[in-house]
Amino acid sequence: MGSRYLLRRVATACFTIVMIVVLNFVLFRAMPGSPERILLGRMPGVTAEVLAQTRARWGLDKPLFPDQFVAYLNSTAQGDLGFSYAARGRPVTEVLAQHLGPTLLLFGLGEILAIVLGLTLGSYSGWKRGSPVDYVGNAISLILYSMPYFLLGMALLLIFSTGAGWFPTFGMLTAGATYDNPLDVALDLGGHLALPLATVALGLIGQYAILMRSSVVETLSEDYVTTARAMGFRDDRVLRRHALPNAMLPTVTLVAINLGYVVAGAITVEVVFNWPGLGTLTVDALASRDYPVLQGVFLLLSVAVVFANLGADLLYGVLDPRVRT
């Protein structure tokens, strides 16, 4: 792959991260309350000495720029994001780490599921354009697309949990449960995961299916697909080796562009199901105005999205030789 393409993408990503950090700093200084209070929160045992130390480390008695900014950069690079108000002075990094796992699980699995199912459904729809399956699939996708994720979650919760009783109503694992073996853990986890996962996946599937379908329809009318058919290849070869590799390209781009938006959805879905991830953390932190945590979440999610975008860009470069020059 052209190293110029790679370099350009990495450079852009780095620049974006820098901008994120700058923005974070601006937010940090814009927050109400004195910076010391923000940094130390309600940590027990704050003496005048600790205050002075903090002030020195963060350069709070020095001018805003460049000293405070540099100090801020330093601390962030070292992983010090301050302390949470609500969590009684626990470091923000620790709080984030604790909530990261469940979100990765829910969101990661959801994306994978959505990509696999969405692309498959979309391709099938596009291949069998005009059939009843196509119309029904399209209609459902459009409706799902218009629905905020959490609404879908609430509906699923109502129907399948409260109504049918198939799934538990909230949380990641049953509170206070003991397990005999890993399989039991997995089953309990799975039961709790099912509905939120379905919500995230369904929301995304609609979008991916619609895009994939129109992409496939457009690809199928290209001359090179007609040529492939003219070569006497079977339909599955034409689809798999000629149409899909081209039709998939816009979808890769969409998945990447979408990531910022999906974060919003994931947050709200977690809230509906009380899933103990970054989403619930964000909303709780918002309610208690726990600014250090909010700021930490923003930093973490933004940087994560940038990296994910970079990954998608690189993947695109592998799939489409035209951008490599």
Site residues (CB under 8 A) for other proteins, limited to 203-242: 221-224, 226-234, 237, 241-242
> Which of the residues 42 through 101 are near other proteins (CB under 8 A)?
none
**CB-hemisphere CA count at 13 Å for 55?**
11
> Which of the residues 160 through 179 are near other proteins (CB under 8 A)?
161-163, 169-170
> Which of the residues 106 through 135 are near other proteins (CB under 8 A)?
130
| 199 in contact with other proteins (CB under 8 A) | no
| 183 in contact with other proteins (CB under 8 A) | no
- Segment interacting with other proteins (CB under 8 A) among 27-35, 51-59, 82-90, 184-192: 27-35
What are 231's two structure tokens? 């070569």
Amino acid letter, 31: M
String marking each residue 134-163 x if it binds other proteins according to CB under 8 A: --------xx-xxxx-xx--xx-xx--xxx
Closest by CA position to 207, among listed 119, 107, 304, 313: 119
Question: How near is the Cβ of 183 to other proteins at its closest, in Å?
Answer: 28
Q: Which is nearer to other proteins, 23 or 64 (CB)?
A: 23
- Segment interacting with other proteins (CB under 8 A) among 68-76, 116-124, 186-194, 256-264: 256-264
The answer to whether 169 touches 162, Cβ cutoff 8 Å, is: yes
Query: What are the residue ranges of helices labelled H in the chain?
Result: 3-30, 35-40, 48-57, 69-77, 92-127, 132-146, 149-156, 182-220, 223-230, 235-237, 244-273, 278-287, 291-319
CB 204: neighbour CB atoms within 10 A? 25
Instruction: Report helix, strand or coil for 66.
Output: helix
| 16 in contact with other proteins (CB under 8 A) | yes
